[in-house]
Structure 1
Amino acid sequence: MTAIDPRVPTVVLDSGARAVDTSGEAAARPTPWAPLRILAAEIEATIERISTGPAPDNGRRSALLVHPESTTGRSFAPGVEVAVEVLLPGESTTPLRRNSSIVQICLAGTGTVHVAGASIDMARNDVATVPSMKPHRFRNDGDGPWIRLAYSNAPLLAHLGTLYAEEVPADWVPGTVVDGPIDMDEPAEVADRGSAPDHEVSPTGARLRGYEFLVDIEPVPDRLRHWPYRTVSGLMSQSTGDGERTIMALYNPATERRQGATGSFFVTLSRIPHGHRPRPEGAGHRHSSVAINYHVEGTGYSVVDGRRIDFAPGDLLLSAPSWREHAHYPSETGLTVFTVQDHPQHIATESLIWQEDMNGPILALGLERGQTGYIAPRNWDDDLPRI
């Protein structure tokens, strides 16, 4: 529980609530956590530890990677959970559905993801997503451990008191895919959106609508998505100066304008070829979304609010806590890195602010014209600015 500041005038009401005087209060500013690097060796030790002993009853061998500033003891970033998940050969998890977004990155081994009647096979560096409230399970039919990083927005939902998960029967049968308004099993005069009132009430465009619009929302169908690394990496830059992109987004069409892999997270793959010329240090940029980098290949360092953090293959780095200035400097080895960022979640809540030039404007992305002419991440030619 947050302590009460005795310097702030507070009145305890008869209901037990408090009325806190905020008259003249200064404007709010972000309070980001510190950057954090978890070494590949630490992740490997975690994998070894959770791989020992018999499998749990639900089959889920997992461990959360938790930031030292986490007040809940579960978060890697304030609204993001990162778990290491392991399945040994022949093991599988029991079916589960939950209302949190899930991004899975395969670190090693192979296995099958089953989601609501669909399935895909994952291999090293593949990425898959599990939609909210779709029953899912994982099975390892390979010869070695299947190891994954799993990202979710569970900490945010837990803070709101709305995190939900439930086991479902192994013989659960998925319902019909919905492509329009959900049948509420209500009388036609109630459930029919066509008869719901919808009035414009002022020249500003404000409207008054029937309650039907709130409880019978048009669904955007989502399903299991899979980005095979073999295909994705082949579409990236292969050699210095080839003109191909060095950073691309793994896009799920169900997220529409949020540009995400899920409704909460985008995932990008950065691939800078071996042999490029390292850049001199300079100013970075910052944004309200947090960025978490998993380094697949290559060495280098990041500078976060003036602090240098070296990285190597297998390291996990909270490289951009919300609103901290940051820049990344791969060595001549090049770079392959997956970045997970809660960018789409901020677009949905209209809270995504971005400052590309530390002396320039602060943009509200999704609400006004964004960062245009953004050439830095497109390729790595010597005449272009760094990422």
Structure 2
Amino acid sequence: MSVTSSPSNIDALPAARDLHARFVDISGQEPEPIRPWAPVKISRARIEAEIERLASLPRPANGRRGTLIVHPDAVGLGPGLAPGVDVTIDVLKPGERTTPLRRNTGQVEIGISGRGVVHVVGRSTRMERWDVCSIPSMKGHYFENDGDELWVRLSYSNAPLLAKLGVLYSEPLTDEQMAAGPSVLPSAGRRPERYIRETAPDIELNDSGARLRGYEYLVDIEVVENNPLHWAWNEVREHLSWEEGDGKRTIMALYNPATERRNGATHSFFVTASSMPPGIAAQPLRRGHRHSSVAINYHFLGSGKSVVEGHVVDWSAGDLLLSAPGWSEHDHYHGPDGFGVFTVQDHPLHIGMESLIWQEKMSGPILALGSEAGQTGYVGPRTTGA
């Protein structure tokens, strides 16, 4: 029930349902083992067939032609390609646009075909093929195809996690609200001075570092500006290796300064762009590594194989692959034609939750990265990404 006005008599309101929580005796019970999902490849042929099907549909009322890619193990709230990550194939025909909305998700968009414009309140960004952009939580946005061919994107979000938490929020916006600027909805303004963090108590209790703070710190939160960002492929590619011996890196992270030590493109996801020049011999078969964060690879160039929990998955340009389900041992091997791949991984989310466990060598220690100085998850020359 939603209460839209203050009641004059609380006794006039209906009582909540009489629900009873269960008691579950876990005395002496050992924790359940981690049961990783299986890797799943969505082939280029299947993606292209789905693009064609979406393009054949009449324009939906909200302008969005999209297909959610769902893992066979996904059940219940928040279906996605991984337990906390969804990936959709989004298609816009020339001259079309979506209607504006805002959600409390963090999103990453990767253009895989055509071009268009991402309009976020206060900023518009042209996306070409293989460009990447971020859309921060609760920023109004819409997509417009001003080109002459289909514009196709892979869109990643943390919607499945928010759905499981029961807080996935989405709100349609008007063009007038989008045009109004960053303050999409009317601002309530600043509270009186006595209700802001600058005037709230902040008390050191003892030499352990424990403190007491006024409630104002919880509701008048310091703002870290998080803008929609654009990583243009023609700029990114200049920093990757395309010829043997050119001295450039084979993997680089697309960094959003708002994520600070989490090193993400959004607060939930990092995105890396990786390349390997043709002609470089692949590593011999070896043990892999594993981490609690899940990795999803979009292979846009080349070919190769991934070994996940002892099973081989072949991939080539245009394939999308859940290449590292959380806590699955995995490793990747490129073919003679090299490769290009975008990897999206919920690594920053785990850093924020202090749940990022990492085992770089299967015979080595399990580390909690970012929780103790001197720990590093990179101990050898891995050249093929996460």
Which of these residues, 200, 218, 222, is aligned with residue 218 of structure 1? Answer: 222
- Partners in 2 of 1:57 and 1:15 — Cα distance? 40
- Partners in 2 of 1:376 and 1:174 — Cα distance? 47
| Cα distance per residue 1:200-220 (max 9 Å; x no partner) | 123211111100000001111
Amino acid at match of 2:244: T
Amino acid at match of 2:46: E
Other-structure match for 2:67: 63
Is residue 90 of structure 1 aligned with residue 95 of structure 2?
A: yes
**Alpha-carbon shift at residue 234 of structure 1 (Å):** 1.2
Distance 1:93 1:373, change over 3 A: closer
Other-structure match for 2:182: 175
Where in structure 2 are the equivalents of 1:343-362 lying within 5 Å? 343-362=347-366
- Ranges in structure 1 where 5+ consecutive residues have no aligned partner: 1-13, 381-385
Which of these residues, 139, 158, 165, is aligned with residue 134 of structure 1? Answer: 139
8 Å contact 2:360–2:377 — kept in the other structure? Answer: no
Other-structure match for 1:305: 309
- Partners in 2 of 1:93 and 1:263 — Cα distance? 25
Amino acid at match of 1:251: Y
**Alpha-carbon shift at residue 176 of structure 1 (Å):** 6.0
**Alpha-carbon shift at residue 287 of structure 1 (Å):** 0.1
Amino acid at match of 1:174: G
Other-structure match for 1:186: 191
Distance 1:175 1:105, change over 3 A: closer
- Partners in 2 of 1:364 and 1:284 — Cα distance? 18
| Cα distance per residue 1:83-108 (max 9 Å; x no partner) | 00000000001111000011000000
**Alpha-carbon shift at residue 243 of structure 1 (Å):** 2.2
Is residue 249 of structure 1 aligned with residue 253 of structure 2?
A: yes
Other-structure match for 2:122: 117
| Cα distance per residue 1:299-337 (max 9 Å; x no partner) | 110000100000011101001001010000001110100
The SS at the match of 2:194 is helix
Is residue 318 of structure 1 aligned with residue 322 of structure 2?
A: yes
Which of these residues, 341, 360, 376, is aligned with residue 337 of structure 1? Answer: 341
Amino acid at match of 1:170: D
Where in structure 2 are the equivalents of 1:265-304 lying within 5 Å? 265-304=269-308
8 Å contact 1:184–1:216 — kept in the other structure? Answer: no
Amino acid at match of 2:338: G
Moved more, 125-134 or 234-243: 234-243
Once superposed, which parts of structure 1, at least 4 consecutive aligned residues long, lie more than 4 Å away? 372-375
- Partners in 1 of 2:355 and 2:83 — Cα distance? 15
- Partners in 2 of 1:107 and 1:332 — Cα distance? 23
Is residue 102 of structure 1 aligned with residue 127 of structure 2?
A: no
The SS at the match of 1:337 is strand
Distance 1:153 1:372, change over 3 A: closer
8 Å contact 2:193–2:199 — kept in the other structure? Answer: no
- Partners in 1 of 2:133 and 2:192 — Cα distance? 40
| Cα distance per residue 1:229-267 (max 9 Å; x no partner) | 111011111211322110010001111110000000000
**Alpha-carbon shift at residue 223 of structure 1 (Å):** 1.1
8 Å contact 1:286–1:323 — kept in the other structure? Answer: yes
Amino acid at match of 1:95: P
Count of equivalent residues = 363
**Alpha-carbon shift at residue 374 of structure 1 (Å):** 4.3
Other-structure match for 1:230: 234
**Alpha-carbon shift at residue 175 of structure 1 (Å):** 3.4
- Partners in 2 of 1:176 and 1:18 — Cα distance? 44
**Alpha-carbon shift at residue 281 of structure 1 (Å):** 0.4
Distance 1:168 1:176, change over 3 A: closer
The SS at the match of 1:308 is strand
Amino acid at match of 1:269: A
- Partners in 1 of 2:31 and 2:275 — Cα distance? 40
Fraction of identical pairs, as percent: 55
**Alpha-carbon shift at residue 373 of structure 1 (Å):** 6.0
8 Å contact 2:369–2:377 — kept in the other structure? Answer: no
How high is the TM-score relative to the length of structure 1? 0.90
- Partners in 2 of 1:204 and 1:27 — Cα distance? 31
Where in structure 2 are the equivalents of 1:191-210 lying within 5 Å? 191=196, 193-210=197-214
8 Å contact 2:44–2:318 — kept in the other structure? Answer: yes
Distance 1:75 1:367, change over 3 A: same
- Partners in 1 of 2:188 and 2:365 — Cα distance? 47
- Partners in 1 of 2:36 and 2:242 — Cα distance? 36
Is residue 77 of structure 1 aligned with residue 79 of structure 2?
A: no
| Cα distance per residue 1:267-293 (max 9 Å; x no partner) | 001100011112210010000000000
The SS at the match of 1:156 is helix
Amino acid at match of 1:141: D
- Ranges in structure 2 where 5+ consecutive residues have no aligned partner: 1-17
- Partners in 1 of 2:182 and 2:143 — Cα distance? 20
Distance 1:233 1:375, change over 3 A: farther
Distance 1:373 1:39, change over 3 A: closer
Moved more, 37-46 or 194-203: 194-203
The SS at the match of 1:298 is strand
